[in-house]
Structure 1
Amino acid sequence: MADYQETLDLSSYAALGDSFTEGLNDPGPDGQFAGWADRLAGMLSARRPEHDFRYANLAVRGRLLDQIVAEQVPKVRQLRPDLVTLCAGGNDILRPGSDPDLIAEHFESAVLELRENAGTVLICTGFDTRNVPVLRHLRGKIATYNAHLRAIADRNGLAVADLWSLRAVHDRRAWSEDRLHLSPEGHQRVALLAARALGLPVDADPEAAWPPAPVLTPADQRRENLQWARTFLLPWVGRRLRGESSGDHVEAKRPELLPL
């Protein structure tokens, strides 16, 4: 893990991954999605002398790990940033018949290459899906993958943003309407967690208590779940059956290291 002084010396950051890192459902001021990685870049830039900080976000929604390795990891050889974040494998885990052991092997191969071309590498574990309809059945696979990620981090000296243990995201308000992507406040909580994993002093606690929320009746919860299934779950399943991805024809929003 980087210490405070080392974090202050970070002058460039490249974020790799899928929709989670692209920042889906966190609208930014420029009309693009922002997300936790953009928010982390802002925190790092604010602590840089003269704000001479450069940031690239190569993440694209829907990308599988092997696609990230083929499309995004090689770009890091050119950029050679001080910091890289790699959060990947979640879309693979969601696929029927996927093997978390094999996915982890591919992940570590990517990490080894990134370490040769970046100063610091931070990875993220997967979220605990125990309270998420449908996805709760994948909790065991996610836990297995997370155990591998922890071991990979230990072997290779990586910083880890442990999303599995982030209790704040168990609150429904941490998620957008589709229940697959974070809300703006959820992205902010993850950005704070990642900053803390890097040794950056933060001005808020990612685990801060949420304000009291209205309590839904069982009937309201059923209606909400049915509406979610019609609006989001069925179209998502349909894309999987057709072999389509939400990231088809989507390009990285910040493919080069540019000042914020």
Structure 2
Amino acid sequence: MSYVAVGDSFTEGVGDPYPDGVFRGWADRVAEHLADHVGEVRYANLAVRGKLMRQIVTDQLPAALDMAPDLVSLCAGGNDLLRPGGDPERMARVLDHAVGRLRAVGSQVVLFTGVNVSNGYMRGTIGLFARYYMNVRAIADAHGCLLVDQWSMRALTDSRAWDADRLHMSPEGHRRLALRVAEVLGVPTDRRWDEPWPERESISWTQARRDDLTWARESLAPWIGRRLTGRSSGDDVTAKRPELTPVTRATAGRAEHGSV
């Protein structure tokens, strides 16, 4: 089978690096898991961090259409909604058109809602995200797409599911999401994405504030700086896997802890 992943940092796998520093992420994990169960999978990952909806549709969608794969995962819009003027309904119209084109070439499409994280710096935008994800659900229904509803995945609201930048998922978050995607695809797994997190010791108020200051200095300030200067974290980044190439059980072994 063939699988193309389209999107931004979420799909590129930021927060989940291989030992060599290249990002792995849930999409790579899903491709590896599929290869374990169906044999060879031809896989491309066109996602690039920081990309907006229009950039994904302009730069990545044509390549995906040319490949006409059996399966496409498409997640876009998060970066738009984190910028002033983000319009959930306008973005939904663009997404609807993109999904229609993918379905027209025979690809099954997997769409995503986001995680219901309404604390901290996300509090002011959660309403916009909720509106957009209602549209995503409607688009999935209209086009007969598969939907990974992260909004209902409470396991991903644990802070351990998130990287130190609090914007991208951690390796464990990506692993759990890959398990959920496999479940939606109907591919069996040995473990569950919603297994309880282990108990952990609470941290002091002082340490929590120190962590907040470190995050603000190392992650939030650079992010704001890029927004103010019109730069993106993906300006000098290209797709890590721009063409359909085989993923087999052997190549999946590059990962340290198995396929998912």
TM-score above 0.5: yes
Q: Is the 8 A contact 1:76 1:117 kept in 2?
A: no
AA of the residue aligned to 2:14: L
- Give 1:191's match in structure 2, choosing from 166, 178, 182: 178
> Which structure 2 segments of 5+ residues have no match?
248-260
- Say if 2:78 is the partner of 1:90: yes
1:257 partner amino acid? L
| 2:136 matched residue in structure 1 | 149
Specify which of 122, 125, 138 is matched with residue 138 of structure 1.
125
The residue type paired with residue 216 of structure 1 is I
For 1:104-149, what per-residue CA distance to the aligned partner results, in whole angstroms no more than 9, with x for missing partners? 1111111111112243100111121213x21122111111001000
1:250 aligns with 2:237: yes
The aligned counterpart of 2:258 is none
Question: In structure 1, what is the equivalent of residue 25 of structure 2?
Answer: 35
CA distance in structure 2 between the partners assigned to 1:201 and 1:119 by the alignment? 21
1:47 aligns to what SS in structure 2?
helix
Is the 2:92–2:132 contact (alpha carbons within 8 Å) kept by the matching residues of 1?
yes
The residue that corresponds to 1:182 in the other structure is 169
Does the residue aligned with 2:237 lie in a helix, a strand or coil?
coil
Segments of 4+ moved more than 4 angstroms: none
Residues of 1 paired with 2:86 and 2:21: CA distance? Answer: 35
What is the alpha-carbon root mean square deviation over aligned residues?
1.1
Q: 1:213 aligned to 200, 205, 210, which one?
A: 200
Partners of 2:70 and 2:20 in 1: how far apart? 26
Distance 2:36 2:106 in 1: 21
In 1, Cα distance between equivalents of 2:154 and 2:53: 26
TM-score (norm: length of structure 2): 0.92
Structure 1 pair 31/229, CA: closer, same or farther in 2 (3 Å)?
Answer: closer
Map of 1:12 onto structure 2: 2
C-alpha deviation, 1:80, in angstroms: 1.1
- Aligned equivalent of 2:191: 204
Identity among equivalent pairs (%): 52
State which of 58, 61, 79 in structure 1 corresponds to 2:49. Answer: 61
Partner of 1:44: 34
CA distance in 2, matches of 1:225, 1:74: 41
CA distance in 2, matches of 1:239, 1:113: 32
1: CA distance, partners of 2:23 / 2:106:
25
How many aligned positions are there?
A: 247
Matches of 2:88 and 2:28 in 1, distance apart? 28
- Describe the shift of the 1:147–1:249 C-alpha distance in structure 2 as closer, same or farther (beyond 3 A): same
Residue 21 of structure 1 corresponds to 11
| Deviation, structure 1 residue 52 | 2.1
Gaps of 5+ in 1: 1-10
TM-score by length of 1: 0.92
Residue identity opposite 2:112 in structure 1: C
Equivalent residue of 1:134, what SS?
Answer: helix
